[in-house]
Every structure is written in structure tokens, then in C-alpha cells.
Chains A and B, each alone.
Chain A
Amino acid sequence: MINKNSLRRKTTGALAIVLTTLAIALSGCSSDKTAGDDSSKITIGIPQDIDGLDPHYATGAGTKEVLFNLFEGLVKPDENGNLNPAVASEYTISEDNKVYTFTLRDGIKFHDGSNVTVEDIKYSIERNMGTDGSEPLISSYSNIDSVNIVDDKHVEVVLKEGDSDFLTQLTVAIIPASNTDPATNVIGTGPYKYVSSSPQENFIMTRYDDYWGDKAYIKDVVFKIEANSDAVVMDLNGGSIDMYARITSTQVEQLSEDFEVYEGTMNLVQALYLNNAEKPFDDVRVRQALCYAINPQEIMDYVSDGAGTEIGSAMFPSFTKYFLPELNDTYNTDFDKAKELLAEAGYPDGFEFTITVPSNYTQHVDTAQVLSEQLKNIGVTANIQEIEWNSWISDVYSDRKYQSTVVGVDASTLAASSLLARYVSDAGRNFTNFNSAAYDEAYANAQNTSDDSAKTEYYKECERILSEEAASVYIQDLPEFVALNKKYTGYVFYPLYVQDISKIKLATE
């Protein structure tokens, strides 16, 4: 209809201008590699944002693993699961396990250059106790009677009840008492000090050259927040990040030659957690039937190409002192046995239930899908309901309104109690509503014993009860793959959820 040549010339002219501008802009985009070339810099991808810089209020596991490099407690865990003196240079524990006395390390300084004093220690511990009448930030701190300054070198922590495991709780960060705003003014004693952070973008820290212990190798460290886990491989191969912890086995296969993959474990108790108060899981036979129906090895094959470590109770293998490998065999896959148990429990034709699973954890979602297929073998239908992590915390964990869920439970400290306390019948964290008088007794015995080997034996008793009672369907400790550019070396795994960057060094050194 419309047809005129002059206009055609004008419009094509305009197009040409646009295209040239684009071309000019594009030619400016040379492939400048920003990260990695500087010899003492490393960029590390992390899956979630840092949710607050105050070490006492930080709760996200992803935040704690980063803050581990900035802050230290009186004692500090190492890669072998030992607690070493940090801000304290030594400690003594009284016979009755009630009085813990610490000696302040000589010459230790905060990142701002001021000396660490016994007042700072008292302040930091009391801040977690909630001395102003508020609730303690760490629930076990309600057992602290007082924190006393003995002299300007010594502090004693006095407990109400003797507890031989209490040292594991004293890893809380020591911060300066004079700091009025710990949430923005970040001062600790760790091998790295804080530089800056930007929500959803990055967290930057630099080596603390006056560190009391072995100084870090790499000078500048940037944690880059990777909100999109699918972009991780591209970012690693493209060079915008040098390291990423917890990549999946399929991502490992796609990495370029430039990367070394370190394999460890995530130190999680992954299980199909069953709400023991909900029908039909209030019947031990039903729970046992599910245990007989599933095959952990097959789950590992699907989810992470066979990597992972089978577990049979609420304990993972890194806690070598407590782990009982024989519990893996309490229930070996046996469909007939499972059907028999279901029939006894009154479900000869199986039943239908829902697995609620947090959508942000691919490995748990995948596990739920495999479980759902495996349970079809005994006539049980498992529907999967994905929910947001935040709804999971409130609905499943806090309100316990669920039938079953697949997640991994980690240990917040090096004490066995951090994994086992939640199964005590009236524990606030007992989200599976597990209820066993025998368990409560064994756990109480462990708490009341100061003899270490007897204590360990009681904890093992607890694990056996969980296994026999089929508290939940325990599956595995998930494998952890860490990709590190070959320019760097020295990644170490911890039995806790931390990333120790101070041990990473340039491969050429």
C-alpha cells in the first residue's frame, strides 16, 4: 500500500546509524579478564548472600562460612575436628566441668589495631547470653552462670551445670566491647579483615598482616554472590570466578581443564524426615517399611553419579568418634519385608503421602524424585511438594505442619549433641516429633556424664535407638565437590560448614 522510495532511504539510514553505534560499542568490549590475573587475588563464588555482618546475629550457614575468616572465638575448630586455642592461648577445665579458665593470647590485636582485652572477651560472651534480661542468642548459653575477669590475662566461664562438651560452644566471635555498631563496623581477630560488601553483589576482604597465627597467602579475596546456580559453570570457565564450593557432579563434568576438583563431604545428615506424630508415620512398622523400600546407593547414583556416603542414623562419618557404620545395614533393601510390615500396620495396599522439599536445594529435590519412584515398588505413592526455603522453615521446621521432608541437617558445633539433641521428645528443635523414652534417657545420661568415653557410649546408644525406631529414613552424607582454578592450591575440607580461605595459596608458591 504505502510505497515511496525517499522514506526507504531515510529509514535504512537510521538503521545503519543504530547498527554502527552498536558495532562501535561492541568493539570496545575486548575480552579483558578482570579477575584472577592479579597474583594475590582470588574471586570465589558463593551461592547465597551475606545476611548481616554481626557475627553474633549471623544465622545463614552461607554467612557463617564466610565470617569464619574474619572472626575467631576463644577456641577455633581445625580441619581435623579439633578445637585449638585462638584468642585464648591456653585453657584449663575444672574437675567438675564447671569452670573453664582461659588465658588471653599475648599481643593479639583486633583488625583496627587495638589490643584484645579480657573485657572484650567478657563482653562478647555476655552479649550472647543476653545479660540484659533478653533471651540468649545461643540457647546453651543459658547454662552459663557468670563470666569473671580473674586478672588482665585470665577470664573464667562458670557454668551452672557441669558440661564436658561446653568448649565446643566457645567458638563464638570475640569482638571489641567498644564497637557500638558491629553490624556495619566489622572488627574481628581472624586472618582476614573486612573491606566492603554490597547486597547481591559481593563481599570483599583483605589479608590481616598482624594476624597472630599463620598468615593467609592470598591478599585480596572477593566473594561474588552467584544467585543463579546454573551460571556457575559458565562463570568458572569464563574466568569471572576462580573457585566455587559445592558444585554438582554434572557441573564437574562440564568444567574446563583449568580446574582442579576437590572431593569431600558436606557433613549433612540427609534423610527423608518423617513427621512421627502424623499418620501413618506414628507407626514404627510403617517407618521401617519405608527404610526397607529405599536404596541409598541408587539415590546416590542418580543424584551425584554414585558419590556420597551412606548413613544409617543421625550422624555423619566426619564425626569419626561417634559414627557407627554398622547401622547402614539395619535395613537393607527388601521389598517383601517392607510389604509385610505395611500389611501388619494395616496398609496392605500401600498409602499416599506428601514429601515437602525446599525448592532451592536441587539435590534434595532430586532425591525426593528418586524416593518417589522407589516407593512405588511397595505400593506407596509419594507426591512431591516443592516450597520456598523460608516457607519450609516456618511450616515444616517451626510449625511441624508436614508429613515428610527431604533435607540435610548440619552440625553447628563439633559436639555430637548438635546432631542428637533434636530427637529428645520435648526439644524445641525436634521437628520430626520423635518420641522415645529410651532415647530421652540415653541422651540425658550422655549429658550428665563427664567421663568422655562413657559419654561417647551413650551417644552411640542414641544413634542405635534412632536406627531401630526408624526415626526417619536416613540416606546419606552428600558429597561436596569444590572447583578451584589450577592457579591456586591448598583447599581444605572442614568437618563443619566453613570455608577456610587462609590456607589457599598460589600454585606457584
Chain B
Amino acid sequence: MSKARKDLKRNIKSNPYLLAGLIITGLILLMTIVGIFWTPYEPTAMNASEKLKGVSFRHLMGTDNMGRDIFSRVMYGSRITLLIAIGTVAIGAGVGTIIGALTGYFGGMLDEVMMRIIDALFAFPSILLALVIVSVFGTGWIQLLVSLGIAFVPSFARIVRGEVLRCKNMDYVENARLQGVSDFRMIFVHIVPNIKGVMASSIMIGFNNAVLAEAGLSYLGVGSQPPYASLGKMLSDAQQYMFTMPSYVLFPGAVIVLMVLGFAFLGEGISRWK
């Protein structure tokens, strides 16, 4: 058995967060991946005689107001939600880290100019920024992904910049500098890995925020297009049936909560990696 596998095995045993995170995320991913190839029903197929039915063997999660199978729609919706969240974090953290590290490290004019733009973007709360960008791009899940991604750049950039500022005066950086390490190497080999704790939690929070922002934007009426719905859109469509058909609200809601929880636990678990 390789060392890596041994490490993993030991960690899973001693680290309940990692275990819980792996199980929850694994289940969600499994459901999503199976959904690509097979769903019990066509996610958009309507059935007038099966409107708003509760949980049964025919419909594991019941049906919605159009008689569509909620389980099939949840499988499909998870895929869209995951894609939006992953895309958002990739854009936000990727661009944000580069901007934050460079500006924080070099300072000077570059810092001034970039930070003015970042500050300007940051002056819009991210959900509002996404809302404005969506108004420009139009609605649809890809537009939403890009909008949220752009909206997430400033917060990552600021966090990374703050951390880089904090680290760059630390002794180990001073030492490395005295040894003549290049700037690029300094930033991405010495400083960035050192703030991985903060980065990991920021990425996990960012992922959560992306899923939640997607739900929020769906609630405000921008987001994926019917009849294909993301989880957030399903939840926001379902909320008015909370009193009459709770299962319609419960399942998409539970999957969102589990998706976010799974990643949060995973993040927690990674930070406790021994």
C-alpha cells in the first residue's frame, strides 16, 4: 500500500469530517453522474394525472405542479448547480488569486490601479454585481456562471492580497529574499502555499456561496431557463407549495443543503489533515 493511501486511510479513521464529507459529496456526485446517463423519467415530461403527488414507489421524491418526477429533476438540477458552482469558483479563485498575489506582493502603481478597479467592483455586493451582469448578458445558466464568477473575483483578490501583505513581511519571506529567490517563485512557491489554510476555507466558502448565490438569484428571477431547472430554481419555484406539498420543497432544498454541507465538511476535513 502506498504512503498516500495509508495517509488517507488513517485520516478517514481519525477524522469524522473528512469521512462525512467524502460520503455526502460522493453520494451527490454519484447521483449527478448517474443522472447524465439515466433518470427514472424524462426530467421535463409532464403528466396531468400525477400533479403534486407525494412520495411513492413510482415517484421517489413525488411530483411537481406539472406532474414531473422530482427525483429526475433533482438529478438533472444537481448537474446544473454543480457546474455553476464549480465554474464560478474556478473563475473567481483563479483570477482572484493571481490579481491578489501580484498586487499584494508588488504594490506600487499596479496595486493602485488594480485595487481601484477591485474596490470599484467590490463596492457592489456580489449578488448585486451578478444581477447587473446578468441583466447585460441575459438569463441562462452559462451567463449566470460567468456573472457569478466575475462577481466572486474581488473577494478572492482581497483575501489573497491581505494574506500576501501579511506574509510578505514575515521572517521566512525575508530570508528567502536575502537568498535571491525570484519574485514569481516567491509569490507562487513561497507565499501562496503558505496561505493555503485561508485559501482552502475561502474556496470552500466560495463554493458554498456560489451554490447559495445561484439559489438567491433564482429566487430573484434570473437563472436557468425552464423547463430545465437548477436546484435553486426548483427550490424557488417550489416554495409556494411549502404548506400543501412539503416534499416538493424538501427534496431540492435538502440536496442543496447536503451539497453545501458535503463540501464544507470536506474542507473542514482537509484542514484537519494530519
Given known pairs A370-B66, A388-B135, the reply for A250 and B225 (CB within 8 Å) is no
* Alpha-carbon gap, A373 to B47, bound state (A): 10
**With a CB–CB cut-off of 8 A, which chain B residues contact A254?**
240, 243-244
**Contact status B226-A384, CB under 8 Å:** yes
**With a CB–CB cut-off of 8 A, which chain B residues contact A233?**
240, 243
**Contact status B139-A302, CB under 8 Å:** no
**With a CB–CB cut-off of 8 A, which chain A residues contact B138?**
387
The contact sample of 27 A-B pairs, CB cut-off 8 A, is A230-B240, A233-B240, A250-B65, A250-B240, A250-B244, A254-B243, A298-B48, A301-B48, A302-B51, A359-B221, A359-B222, A365-B226, A366-B66, A369-B44, A369-B227, A370-B46, A370-B66, A373-B46, A383-B225, A384-B226, A384-B227, A385-B139, A385-B140, A386-B225, A386-B226, A388-B135, A388-B221
- Is A432 at the interface (CB under 8 A from chain B)? no
- Is B188 at the interface (CB under 8 A from chain A)? no
**Contact status A250-B66, CB under 8 Å:** no
Given known pairs A359-B139, A369-B66, A369-B226, the reply for A250 and B241 (CB within 8 Å) is yes
**With a CB–CB cut-off of 8 A, which chain A residues contact B244?**
250, 253-254
**With a CB–CB cut-off of 8 A, which chain B residues contact A369?**
44, 46, 66, 226-227
* Alpha-carbon gap, A366 to B65, bound state (A): 10
- Is B8 at the interface (CB under 8 A from chain A)? no
Main secondary structure of the interface of A (DSSP, over half): helix
* Alpha-carbon gap, A302 to B66, bound state (A): 6
**Contact status A372-B239, CB under 8 Å:** no
Contact residues of B with A, CB < 8 Å?
A: 44-46, 48, 51, 65-67, 135, 138-140, 221-222, 225-227, 239-241, 243-244
Interface residues of A in 247-279 (CB under 8 A from B): 250-251, 253-254
**With a CB–CB cut-off of 8 A, which chain B residues contact A372?**
44, 227
Interface residues of A in 333-379 (CB under 8 A from B): 359-360, 365-366, 368-370, 372-373
* Alpha-carbon gap, A3 to B67, bound state (A): 57
**Contact status B65-A384, CB under 8 Å:** no
Number of residues on chain A facing chain B (CB within 8 A)? 24
**With a CB–CB cut-off of 8 A, which chain A residues contact B225?**
383-386
Given known pairs A250-B240, A369-B227, the reply for A302 and B46 (CB within 8 Å) is yes
Contacts A254-B243, A373-B44 aside, 14 further interface pairs with beta carbons under 8 A come to A230-B239, A254-B244, A301-B48, A302-B46, A359-B222, A365-B226, A369-B66, A369-B227, A373-B45, A373-B227, A384-B225, A385-B139, A385-B140, A385-B225
**With a CB–CB cut-off of 8 A, which chain A residues contact B46?**
302, 369-370, 373
* Alpha-carbon gap, A366 to B240, bound state (A): 15
* Alpha-carbon gap, A386 to B227, bound state (A): 11
**With a CB–CB cut-off of 8 A, which chain B residues contact A251?**
240
**With a CB–CB cut-off of 8 A, which chain B residues contact A386?**
139, 225-226
Interface residues of A in 172-219 (CB under 8 A from B): none
Query: Can you list, as one digit per residue, whether each of A130-146 has a CB less than 8 Å from chain B (1) or not (0)?
Result: 00000000000000000
**With a CB–CB cut-off of 8 A, which chain B residues contact A370?**
46, 66
- Chain A: minimal CB distance from B219 (Å): 9
**With a CB–CB cut-off of 8 A, which chain A residues contact B48?**
298, 301-302
* Alpha-carbon gap, A369 to B240, bound state (A): 19
Smallest CB-CB A-B distances: 5 pairs: A230-B240, A369-B227, A301-B48, A373-B46, A369-B226
* Alpha-carbon gap, A365 to B225, bound state (A): 10
Interface residues of A in 292-335 (CB under 8 A from B): 298, 301-302
- Chain B: minimal CB distance from A139 (Å): 31
Q: Which chain A residue shows the least CB distance to B48?
A: A301
**With a CB–CB cut-off of 8 A, which chain B residues contact A387?**
138-139
Q: Which chain A residue shows the least CB distance to B224?
A: A386
